[in-house]
Structure 1
Amino acid sequence: AAAALMKGGTTATEAKATTTTTAAKVTEWPNTSLAVDGVFGPWTTRAYQRLLVPASVGGYTGPIDGDFGKASTLAEQRWLRAKGYYWGAMDGVRGPVTRKALQSFLKAKGYYKGPIDGDLGKASIKALQNYLNSQRKYY
């Protein structure tokens, strides 16, 4: 289930956000809040990639494409290590140590109330979405 969420499909909310009824440009995070639906779909992934771009955060240099692959995970690991939550290998693998580090960070910030179990289920992803929305003003 966690793997499906991490590579996830598109929710109805996210699909609706990609469609416009006018010629206006589609606005994404940080200009628009993410839907807090617990799905790690393309909009959430792109927002997380944007958050990880600054060198002071994770130094992500890959495309903002909604595919949370090895480069995104390496940036996530650098960011979580800099914050004092990740002590595993810098390998770009989003394994249980990386996932637990993210949960620990989100719990310390008050966004996640569940167990630190490495399962990025709906509660963990909702916590991440709320955290990302709280960071919009900085981007």
Structure 2
Amino acid sequence: MSEDAWQDYLAAAQRLDAVRRTAATAAGEQAQGVRTAREELTGIRARLVPQQSRLRALGVPEGDLRPSEPEVAAAGRAMAAGPEAVLAALREARATADAADSATELPGAGPLARPRVLLYGALALGALLLLVVLCVGGIYLA
């Protein structure tokens, strides 16, 4: 084998190793993203259960506590945006749940708070559905 052939072989092996390392790094980052999203999703689910109970106690109809067809469709479209979009949606869902909690805890808010609670509750549940779809999709892609 000539020296040129050996150098070509060595360069190709180094390029292959660089590609392998890049792929391993990307896979590790994706796995970390899925873990982070699962942890965030678990926290949001834990927040939404008592929130739904409070909304039911306030007389909110059961149908208003579920995401609508357009929200489900939007969740499906957003799934193509990737892991960063999933994490951003999870964080937005947590912020929406915080806002809904604040709206129901305002002293003297009374019936004026109900439309805000309905809006925040629906948004939080829609975001939760989006996140579940995205996490399940991420598991199958990983």
- TM class by shorter chain equals under 0.3
Q: TM-score, normalised by structure 2?
A: 0.21
Asked which structure has the greater RCO (Cα within 8 Å, sep 6+), the reply is 2
Structure with bigger gyration radius: 2
Q: TM-score, normalised by structure 1?
A: 0.22
